[in-house]
Amino acid sequence: MNTPLLFLIHRRPELTRQVFAAVRQARPATLLIAADGPMDDPKCRETREVVLSQIDWPCRVEKRLLVVNTGCKTAVSSALDWAFELCERLIILEDDCLPHASFFPFCDELLDRYQEVSDVMQICGSNLTRTAPDQSSYLFSRFGPIWGWATWRRAWRAYDVKMEAWPSVRKTRQMDIWCPEPFEAAWRREVFDSVYHGAVDTWDYQWAFAKLRCGGLNIVPAVNLVSNIGFGPYATHTHDPADARAAMQTQDIGAPLVHPPAVEPWLEGDRAYLTEVVGLPRSAWSLKSLRRRLRSLFRR
């Protein structure tokens, strides 16, 4: 595996053991380990030992083991900042994101292919809607799940954990320009407001905001390559084990990869994400489609 791998861990040793078994099979040449604290917590110590005791292949190892607990927002965002100071590109896994073996070469190949394509900002491991166009191995989307993903330093430069640009953006109509569906713009405003004002302890919506501002696209595999096995009471945000996204099956992506004909978002896939993952009503699309048809008839 050519790309350095950043492994984010905290205090879930059993989940960490399962995911790290997949990492050991991939044998990354560079392994970065970032752990939130506190260091004297027995679960934190055990989780770190699970990883450090099982690095049994030749590789460069970099460690960032925090002494105190800083929380999801700070621990993950600062770990990514640290890792991108060391590496030009990364594959990122958290301790509850179990990858299929083909996830690693999938990321490797596409990190090479789109290295200089500034519109492409993320490669995803998860396909949460089970949709894909034609026979391509992946699609482009404006939405990018972070349950197993990869990106470049050049894309991460756009990230700001504080979202300092949000108040000025919020005063304009920019969100309506960025979001082709009005329901989406309203949903994003609500989310970004919550994150900016500190109501949610997270780092990933800030990444979504950075990509949105840049017009960034995400690569989504045609099949699901990463399963989130961490849904439950000890998760930070994903508490319901009955959630349809919990422990989804993974599949082999196949080789060689079949590349889409154009670098542009797939509208049907984005709508599936908004309805099935975000939970926006399907009636929003049918109503808008009806309005378009009526306008078209009047123009005639």
Residue-wise pLDDT for 219-278, tens only, equals 999 999 999 998 765 556 565 667 777 778 999 999 999 999 999 999 889 989 998 998
Secondary structure E strands in the chain: 5-9, 30-35, 60-65, 89-94, 97-99, 120-124, 138-141, 149-152, 217-221, 226-228
Give the model's pLDDT for residue 298.
40
Q: In what order do the strands lie in the sheet with 149-152?
A: 60-65, 30-35, 5-9, 89-94, 149-152, 120-124, 217-221, 138-141
By residue count, the chain amounts to: 300
Give me 172's structure tokens.
């304009």
Chain segment 64-91, per-residue pLDDT in tens: 999 999 999 999 999 999 999 999 999 9
75 is written with which tokens? 């621990």
What torsion do the CA atoms of 235, 27, 51, 247 make, to the nearest 10 degrees? 20
**5-299 CATH choice from 3.90.550.10, 3.30.420.40, 3.40.50.2300, 1.20.1250.20:** 3.90.550.10
pLDDT lower than 50: segments of the chain: 290, 293-294, 296-300
Give the pLDDT score at 80.
Answer: 98
